[in-house]
Amino acid sequence: MIFVSKKYTFMCLYLCALLLSTLALSSSSGIQKAHDTLSTLLKNRNTDMQHYIDQAAAFAREQKTVSSGHDWWHTYRVWQMAKKIHEHEGGNILVIELAALLHGIDNHKFHNGDLLVGAKTAQAFLESIHVPKDIIESVYDIVATCSFKGAADTSEMKTLEGNIVQDADRLDAMGAMGIARTFAYAGYKNHAMYDPEKPYKQHASFEEYSKNDGSAINHFYEKLLVLKDRLNTKTARAIAEKRHAYMEEFLEQFYGEWEATR
């Protein structure tokens, strides 16, 4: 796992100097001392990381949610997928895990389209548990920008970590899980399951997208089927192929049953 912060960069430089000096002395006791010091610091670093992650998971889980597909279990799936993508793509694992765990806090869908309210809540929480400032800044930026904002939006994430978290979030809006969440959200918002007399829209702006009241089936064309071509990493794109095909098969079956041809 990679955890880069200024204080740990300093520690690593110090340890390198210490190790080189002990090697120069050709002293087995000195080398062992350097090894023991390095092991202790790495253990403390990993303990700090796990503490932050455990606290963030607990914080995310205790948030009030509704049966709309935007609950703790959505966060959990994004978290697990982000870690899976990281295994192949790399990146700062602490930033990735914290951003995945906090990406859905105070979702804009339930705060009048405010894209920053969740990022501000995440920042305040991370400050309260004394996460390093540079990590907080990275997480804030990801939480503030990773949401899907409509088919017309082509903005990109700034970092590899942001790409990974955004991909993990978008993959959870595809496949069987994406279908289930779409109907759950439509039910929560009292939107129609399907209305063939109301075609879907390719929204020109986030404001238009955020005010959308179309049917669950329309949402496939407005978001779900768009996502395959909006993923950032090679790993996510490979996973998306099967999920995208599954959604296309579902729609074919759905329309067949709607018209009594299947």
Sign (positive or negative) of CA dihedral 78, 83, 88, 93: positive
Confidence of residue 66 (pLDDT cuts 50, 70, 90): low
204 in any annotated domain: yes
So what's the pLDDT on residue 39?
A: 53
Highest mean pLDDT among 3-7, 12-16, 28-32, 54-58: 54-58
Mean pLDDT of 241-249: 98
Whole-model pTM? Answer: 0.82
Which pLDDT does position 4 carry in this prediction?
46
Span 243-255, mean pLDDT?
98
In this prediction, residue 70 carries a pLDDT of: 79
Residue position matching structure tokens 């697990």: 80
> In Å, how far are 32, 36, 42, 170 from 23, measured between CA atoms?
10, 14, 20, 49
Domains identified in the chain, total number: 1
Most confident region among 14-18, 153-157, 187-191 by mean pLDDT = 187-191
Residue 29 forms part of a structural domain: no
What Rg value do the Cα atoms of the chain yield, rounded? 22
Give me the long-range contacts of 54-61 (CB less than 8 A, separation at least 24). 55/129, 56/97, 56/98, 56/101, 56/102, 56/125, 56/126, 56/129, 57/101, 59/101, 59/102, 59/105, 59/125, 60/101, 60/102, 60/104, 60/105
The residue type found at 224 is L
What would the pLDDT profile of 201-217 be if each residue is shown by its tens digit? 887 777 777 778 899 99
CATH number at residue 134: 1.10.3210.50
In a domain, 32, yes or no: no
Least confident of 16-25, 51-60, 130-139, 233-242: 16-25
Q: How many residues does the chain have?
A: 262
Which among 19-23, 60-64, 79-83, 204-208 has the top mean pLDDT? 79-83
Q: Report whether pLDDT(19) > 70.
A: no
CA 147, 174, 119: angle at the middle one, nearest 5?
20
Per-residue pLDDT at 147: 86
Is 85's pLDDT higher than 60?
A: yes
Residue with tokens 């540079």: 134
Between 200 and 112, name the one with better pLDDT: 200
- Does residue 56 sit within a domain? no
Q: Stretch 43-52: mean pLDDT, rounded? A: 78
Q: Could you tell me if residue 57 is inside a domain?
A: no
Q: Is residue 224 part of a domain?
A: yes
Residue 49 contacts residue 1 (beta carbons within 8 Å): yes
In a domain? residue 33: no
- 47 within domain boundaries: no
Residue 166 pLDDT exceeds 80? yes
The whole-number pLDDT of residue 160 equals 98
Residue 108 has pLDDT above 80, yes or no: no
Residue 118 belongs to what H/E stretch? helix 117-128
CB atoms within 10 A of CB 230: 18
Q: Which domain holds residue 195?
A: 66-258
pLDDT at 91 over 80: yes
